[in-house]
Amino acid sequence: MSQLFSPITLRGLTLPNRIVIAPMCEFHAVNGNATDWHIIHLGHLALSGAGLLIIEATGVEPRGRISRECLGLYNDENEEALSRVLAIVRRYSGMPIGLQLGHAGRKASVLNPTAGRRYGHAPASEGGWEPIGASPIPWAEGWPVPREMTRADMEEVLASFADATRRCARLGIDLLEIHGAHGYLVSSFLSSVANQRSDAYGGSLENRMRFPLEVFDAVRAAWPADRPLGVRFNGTDWIEGGIDTLEAVAFGTELARRGCDYADMSSGGNGFATIPDGPGYQVPFAAAVREGTGMATMAVGLIREPAHAESIVASGQADMIAIGRGMLNNPRWPWHAAEELGAQIEVPSAYIRAATRTGRNAYAR
């Protein structure tokens, strides 16, 4: 029996299989509002048969968006726009839907990378804004120096995370994930590469974890007790002096004590680095955190072959497999994986003839 296609329960949510559609930035929002593109994007992925679909990184305040074209959930208009999208998607799919909440910190206000322009900070003349961060250290040469956050700034961001969480609860989101990886705000506090503060929020790992854990606590307190909450964070920065696996396990241990339900393990982003990527290159971080904390983990990163995904779960290296670019390339990846691994999968009744021997009818909610 395929382990990839076995169910998994996180608090009050049971996923029918371990395949997760990873959150992927789309750069198609307007003033933080979801658009018709999100109906198309989320709608077709929700027919894939995966166990869970996670909506892209969503800014908890305007200055927390990666770009001005990124999703936000900081006002009523944002909430109403996403509600419209979800209502249409849910009409035709019963797939559980999660959402990734984040704040881009010193990596905010970038030029839209899908518009064919150079990648970099967007100036005010192109709708950009001043970034904030753990320390006044620019992300890269030529990028602006972020304003070092004060305690008042931290309180504002914590309130924004809590407010966005309550909006997610009203929208009926099934699962939340905090983006604590890739050099964005939470990640930058964790890493000595970006955090060189001399107060209670910098220096030792205990201090560097302080604000990230405050973010988690604020979200967990505002999120219904029966709905799962996870965190994506780095297993390494791939930079000397940055986050390493031992620090990742220590951070995961503190998250688990506070009621975190899973760790989505990634890497990099706190500065330019040479990353030895290849199929499953981040799986060892998921395995280390799983073993060191006892918490469920999600593996992500160039996992394309069903047999590879199956082996990761079956060997106990991770509990779930998140697929991003591979799912865009092949939106029916779960169907083909089910065929290869001899499992059955729910398929929309209109598509049942296309799913060969593995399909069974799935009906709208």
**CA proximity to 260, closest of 230, 232, 235:** 230
Q: Which helix (H) or strand (E) holds 2?
A: none
Q: Given 74, 184, 201, 262, which residue is catalytic? A: 184
Give residue for tokens 């059955």: 344
Mapped onto helix, strand or coil, the DSSP state of residue 88 is helix
CB of 55 closer than 8 Å to CB of 100: yes
353, burial (CB in 10 Å: exposed 0-12, middle 13-18, buried 19+) = exposed
Q: How far is CA 68 from CA 46, 84, 124, in A?
A: 26, 21, 11
* Buried-exposed string 6-22: b where 16+ CB fall within 10 A, e elsewhere: eebebeebebbbbbbbb
Does the active-site annotation cover 201? no
Q: How far is CA 95 from CA 56, 287, 293, 345, 362, in A?
A: 16, 27, 29, 12, 10
Mapped onto helix, strand or coil, the DSSP state of residue 42 is helix
Count other Cβ atoms within 10 Å, centred on residue 347.
Answer: 24
Mapped onto helix, strand or coil, the DSSP state of residue 36 is helix
Give residue for tokens 């959402």: 99
Strands 147-148 and 132-133 come out as: parallel
> Residue 348 forms beta bridges with which residues?
362
Q: What does the block give as tokens for 249?
A: 């396990």
Mapped onto helix, strand or coil, the DSSP state of residue 229 is strand
What positions carry a catalytic annotation?
Answer: 184
